[in-house]
Chain A
């Protein structure tokens, strides 16, 4: 838990010179056009909390909660303000304040500390959700008006819930996946927590693609959760615990730890900041973080062998915030897409803007999330693409919801899934030719 003293000592808020250049890139500022919904305003609030100039009230922490932590503000800040880190510390601090309603706080903490670290419990939650979804209750509750009693936000949350895939698709990945042909690298792969329950196909595709590119892939049996959610949403103690477990669960002798979830990759690269420099874990976290690679950057550096058999499709790419802003990975996904034979890559207006998923922010402020998603979907429609590619499960779920609602003709895929489709296509053609 962070104390005010710690926050005050942490004088990063002073890096901000109040120039305002970050305002127009901030999605929440563009939506609300008021200072407290902007990066500059939020930094000012954080600073005011630490200086005890402002009391932590429901009102004042709402602006802290509504931040998407998309970190678009960091990408344009000439002063090098490390907004993401500042926000993590502040959220951890205000979590304790009286302004937080006790029940949601308890629920969140319970999820971070008693569910996320245990894949079996998580699977159980997912299964319960699947039963609820298949029972027809969601529509019944909505139509009957019962949900409306809990407010518009609850109705939205119910409507936006992503469908849970079947038990069979959610089955666990085995531990060691051998390389096809001569092994070029031995890598660890983060299967993740929620991603494996809600988007297992993307994980499976990433592993298969890595194998075909000549990598032996190790998915630790413990299936650790990286801790990104508690790290970004106010529970640094839980995040530290999950970080330690994650670091421990990967064998040391790995060439890289590959992550196909931009949000997780960004958190793992940020592990060192979770531990004070005097803590021995700081060094371990630093060494570990140095090995973490996003799936796209890893493929480019490998270097990968692009498929040769063309598959004509019109694709557009939406850059996950935690890839483009947090990890500053801009070119690799585009380079991969451009190397795919037959793919026509059409630009997406506002490619670097947040789609509104933003981890738990889409659950805490569903109204804001939907507005951002609507904007994104109108850009998708303009692009005329058949396939919308992303590189982060959170975004994939959100964009999937968006397309179901507004652009049913557009298919949403993780980049790894698109690559796997090419692999399968080549494979099929080879079989046809040989027979």
Chain B
């Protein structure tokens, strides 16, 4: 394989156009991290293709020249999945953001993957439809990033994660060939390669177009918020609701610290700041079912000592509460300069126990911990606020983070609920998987990505593609930290 640092970037300009290839220090610097800023690296170039054909040509060039490449959507990822490779390029899909077709009868849409999640739902609302997976970042993140991460969101409790909503995809394989997986009709014969691709975190190829399923907007939607003095009781309520056979559309938990920062922000939505924890319970379906379910929510919550149970008055207030919930991570930025957003899943029944353990770990390492999470799925987001300029504090955060992770695994949980492994948790993988498991993963990846140029050094431990090429690359005007 040729050394990538020698590959002339000028050739990329010939493949695309000057305005689609960024190489200035300022441009490159702004791509050095995604939503997780603990890891940073400056790419050699950023390319902004408009079409599948352009993506294919760029990928082919990378393949021939041995240049690593990292696909990127909006860079809201929280596991460093879109972290550049110093010797490689960023393949930014944000300009491929067209909604190509909406089929109202068959309830699907064909999109270019740079389309922003929320813009898809807004565009199909006039047909009484919506796109169900709604990550809290939905106002910014792309369908492509969602596919790569198999993203979830509050409403995935009832509607399922991204993978349940992707019917088909156009994919540029790491050698530069274009292929199509899936199609509008479910149950196609053959292996479910689409299922394998969704959630591969950009390491199996670049998805450029997707066929996504749309849902009908339910007849009736109601949002209740329930305030508890003790966070643990809120957790118990979650367990009971699910045990009593309820199927809420969303079941979200917000702790006191988070409530307070949301209420200070532009997204203040009237949550009680003296609550230890608030549950947001959204119910949807036929009006009679929703009525019955709200009764049940009230009953269970009162039994567990909730001190306030309220319903959103109308669609506007519902939207406001959701905006508040979805602003949680950003709002936590008010506490300290940096935020470490964690992501783990535990069995729902273990929620009260794991919360206690996490508090102890936070106290032991003297770090500022807050919690906001998809309680219904047992998908935790313990967040640690810190100041990265303080090396001691940063170290304590890393240690606490690792212990929290271990504690989740100990109660039968997993490493990631929805944010992916990326670069961040790559080295934690052996905590959950045996060497043999990891080998199998690597074998599967090799089928798609034999040279390992597509999003290298992510997800699976052990590879060091980026470092191998690293020597001898300097970008004038930029100092690497």
What is A's interface to B at a CB cutoff of 8 Å? 11, 14-24, 33-36, 38, 40-41, 44-45, 48, 52-55, 57, 59-60, 62-63, 74-81
A-contacting residues, B133-172, CB 8 Å: 137, 139-141
Our count of residue pairs bridging A and B at CB distance below 8 angstroms stands at 134
Known: A38-B30, A79-B332. 19 other contacts (CB 8 A): A15-B333, A17-B329, A19-B333, A21-B76, A23-B74, A24-B116, A33-B48, A33-B97, A44-B29, A54-B477, A54-B478, A55-B25, A55-B477, A76-B266, A78-B262, A78-B328, A78-B330, A78-B331, A80-B334
Bound together, the chains give a CA A48 to CA B27 distance in angstroms of 12
Q: Which residue of A lies closest to B78 (CB)?
A: A19
Whether B46 is near chain A, meaning CB under 8 Å from some CB there, is yes
Residues of the A chain whose Cβ atoms lie less than 8 Å from the Cβ of B114: 33
Contact A17 B477 (CB under 8 A): no
Q: List 26 A-B contacts (CB under 8 A).
A: A17-B332, A19-B76, A19-B137, A20-B75, A20-B141, A21-B140, A24-B119, A24-B139, A24-B140, A34-B22, A35-B75, A45-B29, A53-B29, A54-B29, A54-B478, A55-B25, A57-B26, A59-B27, A60-B477, A76-B266, A78-B266, A79-B265, A80-B264, A80-B266, A80-B331, A80-B333
Chain B min CB distance to A32 (Å): 9
- Considering the chains assembled together, what is the distance between the CA atoms of A54 and B480 in angstroms? 9
Q: Mark B281-322, 1 if CB is under 8 A from A, else 0.
A: 000000000000000000000000000000000000000000
- What string of 1s and 0s marks CB contacts (under 8 Å) between B161-200 and chain A? 0000000000000000000000000000000000000000
By a CB distance below 8 angstroms, the chain A residues around B31 are 35
**B92 interfacial contact with A, CB 8 Å:** yes
For residue A37, give the distance in angstroms from its CB to the closest CB of chain B: 9
Residues on the A chain within 8 Å of B329, using CB? 17, 19, 78
A402 and B434 alpha carbons, distance in the complex (Å): 65
> Which residue of the partner chain A has the closest CB to B336?
A14
B12 to chain A, nearest CB (A): 15
Contact A53 B479 (CB under 8 A): yes
Q: A16 — nearest CB in chain B belongs to which residue?
A: B333
**Closest approach, in angstroms, between the C-beta of B116 and any C-beta of chain A?**
6
Does any Cβ of A come within 8 Å of B337's Cβ?
A: yes
Q: Are A23 and B140 in contact (CB under 8 A)?
A: yes
Point out the residues of chain B lying under 8 angstroms from A76, CB to CB: 139, 266
Q: Determine whether the beta carbon of B74 is less than 8 Å from that of A15.
A: no
Residues on the B chain within 8 Å of A79, using CB? 265, 330-334
- Contacting pair A35 B27 (CB below 8 A): yes
B333 in contact with A17 (CB, 8 Å)? yes
Give Cα distance in the complex from A23 to B330, angstroms: 13
| Interchain CA distance A202-B278 in the complex, whole Å | 50
Give which listed residue, B118, B330, B479, contacts A77 with CB less than 8 A: B330
Residues of chain A within 8 A (CB-CB) of B479 are 52-54
B 57-78 contacts with A by CB, 8 A: 74-76
* CA of A21 to CA of B92, assembled, Å: 17
Does B266 contact A53, Cβ atoms closer than 8 Å? no
Q: Is B467 an interface residue (CB 8 A)?
A: no
Q: Does B339 contact A (CB under 8 A)?
A: yes
Give Cα distance in the complex from A73 to B30, angstroms.
Answer: 17
Q: Check if A59 sits within 8 Å of B330, measured CB to CB.
A: no
Indicate whether B250 reaches chain A with its CB closer than 8 angstroms: no
Picked from A14, A21, A45, A78, the residue with its CB within 8 Å of the CB of B30 is A45
Which one, B35, B267, B328, contacts A18 given CB within 8 A? B35
Is B24 engaged at the interface, CB distance under 8 Å to the other chain? Answer: yes
Chain A residues with CB below 8 A from B26, complex form: 36, 45, 54, 57, 59-60, 62-63
Is A54's CB under 8 angstroms from B95's CB?
A: no
Chain A residue at minimal CB-CB distance from B94 = A33
A174 vs chain B, min Cβ distance (A): 42
A75 touches B266 (CB 8 A): yes
CB-CB under 8 A from B416, the residues of chain A are none
Would you call B139 and A21 a contact (CB within 8 A)? yes
Query: Does B33 sit at the interface, judged by CB under 8 A?
Result: yes
Are B137 and A77 in contact, CB atoms less than 8 angstroms apart?
A: no
Question: A11 CA to B35 CA in the complex, in Å?
Answer: 19
List the A side residues contacting B35 at CB < 8 Å. Answer: 18-20
Identify the interface centre among A35, A40, A48, A80: most chain B CB within 10 Å of its CB. Answer: A35
Q: Which 9 A-B pairs have the closest CB atoms?
A: A78-B330, A79-B333, A78-B327, A17-B333, A14-B337, A60-B26, A41-B30, A35-B30, A78-B331
Complex Cα distance, B114 from A12, in Å, reads 31
Q: Does B37 contact A (CB under 8 A)?
A: yes
Q: Kindly supply a per-residue 1/0 record for chain B positions 75-113, scoring 1 wherever the CB is within 8 Å of any chain A CB and 0 otherwise.
A: 110000000000000001011010000000000000000
A17 B24 Cβ-Cβ under 8 A: no
Chain A residue with the shortest CB-CB distance to B76 = A20
Q: Is the CB–CB distance between B330 and A60 below 8 Å? A: no
Residue of A nearest to B95 (CB): A33
A34-B46, A41-B30, A79-B331 in contact; A20/B266 too (CB < 8 A)? no
CB of B8 closer than 8 Å to a CB of A? no
* Distance from A321 Cβ to chain B, minimum over Cβ atoms (Å): 15
